[in-house]
Amino acid sequence: MKAKNTRRNDVNGWIHLCIEGKPRDRGRQHGRALATEIRAALKTIRYLILQDTGLEFAWFAKNAEALFHDSLASNYGGKLTDGSGVEILEEIEGIVEGANEKRGPRDAKLTLTDLIGWNAYPELICQWWPAVQSGQLKPAVPMPQEKARALAVQAAQGVHRAGFHPHHSCSAFVAVGKQTLDGEIVIAHTTWQRFANGDCYNVILDIRPENGARMLMQSVPGYVASSTDFMINSAGLAVTETSINGSGFDPSGLPEFFRARRAAQYGTSITSWCETFRLGNNGGYTNTWLLADVKKREISAYELTLHHDALQPVLKSGYYAGYNVPLDLGVRNFDVGAAGYDNLLQGAPRRVRFDALMALHHGKIDATIAQAILGDHHDPYTRAEFPCSRTICGHFDNDDCASGSGNPFYPWGSLDGKVTTGALAREMKILARWGRACGTPLDVKAFLREHPQFDWLRGHMQDRPSQPWTEFADVWAKQHS
């Protein structure tokens, strides 16, 4: 694929999109290529956020713009000496312009407010909205009066109502040294999400900016960061994460989506990635970040919440795994609460299974074994091979949750698989599978026939046929070689 001639290539369920140049230019390329998908994603999230909260997406988006626009436009009051606040804001503006460029008569006109709200959705729904619900924060844009009154009553009673969001959200690991076949990095991740949300998470975004590193990442139509998160850059970093649901939000900070993108573009080592990501920390979208320096053959794990900043020891040999339970004791006990470290109905099954698989495959882990690990269906709770909410490849939709682990058969779980190795990352290559990490297909009509309680999602979920693992490469190297 020649990037200059073919910006977009659809393959095996993925959209491989290549953009380059100045911020507004690459934004326009993005917006033009994914205009249809951006509108479809926004249509779905408008429906889902209303179902989850009783409030319109437009209200969340206006608050996101009020929170973040000026801090980006001012380069965080001049603290972003690289000008990256203005840079990324211009890229978002370019996406809006590109998506509106050939707008049809029935196509909604997209706005900058829409795109800031869409990029900020994870941190809004995970940290900002709970802080508003509990009365800790006042929204910059007031909500309708009758809903504000109802929310104030709930906050006074300590009642926080929200849509069902399982605490199980992604599985990942990073390994190096004696743990892997060749001693080099192996890093792998499967995104867990509600199927309706995750239908649009099928973008492999290849960015060549004027400044900073080239990036190859899984992303979302209209997003400037990965969000899912799986990323490699030309400086030799590989990064992924699993969420940990930390609490607290600082409205004066920089948005998490911006901090993650800036760290991806300008990070050159594990330490510099953490320093870049930490600047302007607002507590949004908290994760266990798994970090690898491909050049130095080093790995670590990093957790940043509003109140804690914890980097695990940098290893030349060993592994870290992510399973939605904080590694740091301070984060686990003070920011997340009952995180499920030893609870076989929460995060513990995947922790136990990762440890078992790392022992089983010690010294053998390569891309092929990493793919198998992501698709693993062993349930340590029942000690059986059964894809469910407790397995590394998550299948809530196959789980009656009789054990008390959640909402029975909720359409949530593994959406994909991504793997890279030291050798692949040096060539800016990743391997990715769309659908589920294990390859099991999803037939939406059949699922809704069997589980009609979720008919409210009819028309908002897409089939996922079984897809093969696909290699995505650095097209810029091909173009300029």
Q: What is the pLDDT of residues 128-165, one digit of tens each?
A: 999 999 999 999 999 988 888 888 887 777 665 554 45
Quick one: pLDDT at residue 396?
95
Q: Three-class SS of residue 174?
A: strand
228 is written with which tokens?
Answer: 């899912």
CA pair distance 128, 143, nearest whole angstrom: 14
* 342 confidence band (pLDDT: 50, 70, 90): very high
pTM, to two decimals: 0.95
The H or E element spanning position 292 is strand 287-293
Q: What percent of the chain has pLDDT over 90?
A: 87
| SS3 (DSSP) at 326 | coil
pLDDT at 244: 93
- The owner of tokens 């649901």 is 245
Q: Which helix (H) or strand (E) holds 434?
A: strand 430-434
Say yes or no to pLDDT of 457 above 60. Answer: yes
pLDDT value, residue 7: 86
**Which tokens sit at 222?**
């209209």
The model's pLDDT over 57-80, given as tens digits with 9 standing for 90+, comes to: 999 999 999 999 999 999 999 999
Query: Where does the pLDDT of residue 340 fall: very low under 50, low under 70, confident under 90, or very high at 90 and above?
Result: confident
- Is 40 in contact with 34 (CB distance < 8 Å)? no
78-111 pLDDT tens trace: 999 999 999 999 999 999 999 999 999 999 999 9
* 279-307: pLDDT as tens digits: 999 999 999 999 999 999 999 999 999 99
Q: Of 10-24, 63-77, 124-138, 360-374, give the lowest mean pLDDT range.
A: 124-138
Check if the beta carbon of residue 132 is closer than 8 Å to that of residue 152. no
pLDDT of residue 160: 58
Please identify which residue in the block is written with the tokens 């099991």: 440
Report the residue count for the chain: 481
- By the 8 A CB rule, do 192 and 170 touch? yes
In this prediction, residues 9-34 reach a mean pLDDT of 98
> Is the CB of residue 219 less than 8 Å from the CB of residue 232?
no
- In our burial notation (b when 16+ CB lie closer than 10 A, e otherwise), range 324-335 reads bbbbbeebbeeb
Give the Å distances, CA to CA, from 171 to 115, 120, 361, 389: 28, 22, 17, 11
DSSP 9-66: EEETTEEEEEEEESHHHHHHHHHHHTHHHHHHHHHHHHHHHHHHHSS-HHHHHHHHHH
Least confident of 4-8, 385-389, 447-451: 4-8
Closest C-alpha to 401, from 414, 410, 392: 410
Portion of the chain with pLDDT greater than 70, in percent: 95
Provide the pLDDT for residue 481.
Answer: 42
Which two tokens mark 16?
């491989």
pLDDT on residue 480: 47
* Architecture of the 171-480 domain: 4-Layer Sandwich (3.60)
Report pLDDT for 5.
47
User: Which string of DSSP letters, residue by residue, matches 208-270?
Assistant: EESSS--EEEEE-TT-SS-SS-EEEETTSEEEEEEE-------TTS--HHHHHHHHHHH--SH
Give the start-to-end residue ranges of the domains of the chain.
22-157, 171-480
What integer pLDDT is reported at residue 478 of this predicted model?
58
Query: For 382-419, what is each residue's pLDDT tens digit?
Result: 999 999 999 999 999 999 999 887 899 999 999 999 99
Q: Tell me: the pLDDT tens digits for 268-281? A: 999 999 999 999 99
CA nearest 241: which of 177, 192, 199, 306?
A: 192
Residues 6+ apart with CB under 8 A from 153: none
Note whether 258 and 339 are within 8 A (CB): no
* Angstrom distance (rounded) from CA 72 to CA 445: 44
Evaluate whether 4 touches 475 at the Cβ level (below 8 Å): no
Mean pLDDT value across residues 449-471: 97
Q: For the packed helices 35-53 and 23-33, what is the interaxial angle rounded to 10 degrees?
A: 80
Cβ neighbours for 139, distance < 8 A, ≥ 6 positions apart: 59, 63, 132
- Using an 8 Å Cβ cutoff, are 200 and 37 in contact? yes
251-262 tens-digit pLDDT: 999 999 999 999
Q: Which residue has the tokens 């960061």?
A: 225
Mean pLDDT, the chain, rounded, equals 94
